[in-house]
Structure 1
Amino acid sequence: MPAVNSGASPEELDKAKQKVKDQGGKITNEFTLIKGFTAEFPEDKVGALETNEHLTVEADSEVKTQ
């Protein structure tokens, strides 16, 4: 799941989503309470996103509070 840095501008969020699409990914969910989105993305292209200072890239996983 790419997540966008909280200090990122709306333009940077749009650029991040466009980069996902340009690299063959598909935006699957967009969040409004936090700056972020989830995407299906080819594993061999993840490196292209990890170099963006405004993105945090994490693989899908189960999250628990306790």
Structure 2
Amino acid sequence: MRLFSFLIATLTLLGTAVAVDVQKSVIITYPDSTPEWVLDKAKTAIKDSGGVITHEYQLIRGFAAELGEKVLDTVTAWGQEYNARIEENQVLSAFK
């Protein structure tokens, strides 16, 4: 009985340690009037959390990134004041 309890406890701890933040691919854009430090703050938070900036746009003010859901919530909250638009990155096609 002790072995069974030990096994259950070990598996529970292992499952908790293995759980990872779900990664999402998103495009984040800001209005042209948004200060540069706002974008830099978002990019730094993404990189610090283990995310990756996959593309920085030149024609629009924004970037594409792969990041965890937790940091996505943080970046979303920061962007509300500057009307940031966050969309899931997906493939679009004219034909099915």
Task: State TM-score, norm by structure 1.
Answer: 0.74
CA distances 1:19-46 after superposition (whole Å, capped 9, x unpaired): 2212321100001111110001113432
Establish whether residue 60 from structure 1 lines up as the match of residue 89 from structure 2: yes
SS in 2 for 1:46: helix
Q: Which has the higher helix share?
A: 2
Name which one, 1 or 2, has greater alpha-carbon Rg: 2
**Structure 1: gaps (5+ residues):** none
**Which protein, 1 or 2, shows the higher relative CO under an 8 Å CA cutoff with sep ≥ 6?**
1
Q: How does 1:1-66 map to 2 (within 5 A)?
A: 1-52=27-78, 53=80, 54=82, 55-63=84-92
TM-score by length of 2: 0.55
Residue 16 (structure 1) shift: 1.9
| Identity within the alignment, % | 31
- Return structure 1 stretches of 4+ with deviation > 6 angstroms: none
